Amino acid sequence: MNEKVITRPSWMTDEDWEKLQEAIRKLEEKVKERTGGSGGLVEVKEEEEEELLEIVDERPEIWLPEREGEVLEGEIVEIREGEYGIYAMVKEKASGLLLRTPAHKLLQSKLSKLSKGDYIRIIYQGSIRTISGRRAENYKVLKRIDKKVRRDRDERNTK
C-alpha cells in the first residue's frame, strides 16, 4: 500500500484526530485481511462506511443562538482569522462537540482578547441597535481565571 502523509486539520481536536487515526488503522487491517495483504480493492460494508463518514465528515458547526440567554461554554481550542474576521473553535463542555463562534462584530472584538486554552462562557444577549442605527448581535463573554491569578488580583486590590 502507498504511504500517504495526512496532516491534522487545524479545526480538528487532538482527541478527534486520534479517533480518526484509529479508524484508519482498523480499516487498513480489514483491507489486508480481505485482500490477503495485496492491498487491492475491497468492498466496504455499509455500516463500516457510515462509521467512517461519522468520523471523517465531522466538521465544526457554527453556534448560532436564537434566544437571549443561550450559552456556549467550554475551552477554546483555537482562534482563527476567517473570511469575515476572527472566530473561536470551542470544545463545548456539555456535549464535547467542537463548535465555531459566529462572525458577529461585537463578539469578535471580545474574542480578540482571548487565547487558546481559555475556558469561556459566551452568553447571547439578543439584538441591539448600534449608534449608526444598524442591528447587531450582542454577547457577554466570561473567561475563567485560575485561583492564583484571582488571589494575586485580590491581594493587589486590598493594598
Rounded to whole angstroms, the Cα distance separating 138 from 131 reads 14
pLDDT reported for residue 55: 47
State the angle between helix axes of 46-56 and 14-35 in degrees (0 to 180), rounded to the nearest 10.
150
3-state secondary structure of 100: strand
Every domain of the chain and the residues it spans: 14-56, 61-151
pTM for the model = 0.58
Q: Work out whether strand 98-100 and strand 61-62 pair parallel, antiparallel, or are unpaired.
A: parallel
pLDDT in tens, 10-52: 777 888 888 888 888 887 787 777 666 655 555 555 555 555 5
Measured between alpha carbons, how far is 145 from 122 in angstroms, rounded to an integer? 15
Q: How far is CA 71 from the centre of its chain?
A: 15
* CATH code for the part of the protein at 61-151: 2.40.50
Cell for 54?
A: 461519522
Q: Which residues contact 55 (CB under 8 A, 6 or more apart)?
A: 16, 19, 20, 23
Contact 111, 79 (CB under 8 A): yes
**Residue 31: what pLDDT?**
73
pLDDT one-digit tens code per residue, 123-157: 999 999 989 999 999 999 999 987 665 666 666 67
| Average pLDDT along the chain | 80
